[in-house]
Amino acid sequence: MTEGPRQWIVAREGWVHVAVAVGAAAIVQWLAGWMWALPLWLLSLFVVQFFRDPPRRIPQASRAVICPADGRIIAVDEVRDPYIERTARRVSIFMNVFNVHANRIPVSGVIKRRWYHPGSFFNAALDKASRDNERNALWIHTEDGSEVVVVQVAGLIARRILCYVQEGARVQRGERFGFIRFGSRVDVYLPTAYQVQVSLGDRVAGGRDILAFLPE
């Protein structure tokens, strides 16, 4: 295993939110005392924990797919991949407001295509969220010739999907590629030859746990 790239413990996406929350708490405490400021300090703690982004040791196992997000496995099934029109194994990860919300590339390769779909904001734990909610999808052509699709899906509260890679970019497994604010979901569509290593209800960590393997 190797360390991922050096990064801040609080995600850059949260710097403004943390600064505003801490600043408001400090001002209220200065003007009115700590009892009045206590709820704002508690809010500041929540904001910091939401935007935390701890470094992860990336597994180097050959032909492995790593988890793109922290959360709970809510779907492991065989479905029709709506992006590249094939039968695929789908693994879905639900992120609640207490999970790390940075997203990581599951496999090394090249981004063949990126799709963005505006949509609704149903509870991300519902299956219809995969087809109806706002979402951003990446089609990755892997180094071993496989096709993997990873999809960021907005949730009931989430109103902001961030993705930092474009079509044609070469990406590395474990690389940080995006962020979703305030509860959401990530779907991964794999060729049926892949062997899934997780089960419904499992808790997983993005960039650290292995989602699936491609057998030799």
Residue 56: inside a domain: no
Domain enclosing residue 145, as ranges: 61-213
Domain CATH number, residue 130: 2.70.70.10
Tell me: do 120 and 41 sit in the same domain: no
Is beta strand 170-171 parallel, antiparallel or unpaired with respect to 109-117? antiparallel
* pLDDT for the residue 8: 54
Tell me: do 94 and 164 sit in the same domain: yes
Tell me: do 71 and 34 sit in the same domain: no
Tell me: do 75 and 149 sit in the same domain: yes
Tell me: do 74 and 102 sit in the same domain: yes
Tell me: do 46 and 144 sit in the same domain: no
pTM greater than the 0.85 cutoff: no
Residue 182: inside a domain: yes
Tell me: do 77 and 148 sit in the same domain: yes
* pLDDT for the residue 46: 84
Tell me: do 199 and 109 sit in the same domain: yes
Residue 2: inside a domain: no
Residue 7: inside a domain: no
Residue 6: inside a domain: no
Residue 148: inside a domain: yes
User: Is residue 184 annotated as a catalytic residue, yes or no?
Assistant: yes
Tell me: do 115 and 172 sit in the same domain: yes
Strand intervals (E) in the chain: 2-3, 57-58, 64-66, 71-81, 86-95, 102-104, 109-117, 135-142, 147-154, 161-163, 170-171, 176-180, 184-190, 195-196, 203-204, 210-213
Contacts of 163 (CB under 8 A, 6+ apart): 114, 116, 136, 138, 152, 177, 178
Q: Which of 92, 108, 184, 199 is catalytic?
A: 184
Tell me: do 201 and 102 sit in the same domain: yes
Q: Cite the DSSP H helix spans in 33-99.
A: 34-50
Tell me: do 71 and 38 sit in the same domain: no
Residue 75: inside a domain: yes
Write out the two tokens for 195. 């062997």
Tell me: do 206 and 119 sit in the same domain: yes
Residue 81: inside a domain: yes
**Number of domains comprising the chain:** 2
Per-residue pLDDT of the chain (216 residues; tens, 9 = 90+): 433 344 557 777 778 888 998 899 899 989 988 888 898 989 888 888 778 888 888 888 888 999 999 999 999 999 999 999 999 999 999 998 888 889 999 999 999 999 998 866 565 566 666 666 788 999 999 988 999 999 999 866 655 788 999 999 999 999 999 988 766 889 999 999 999 999 999 999 999 999 999 887
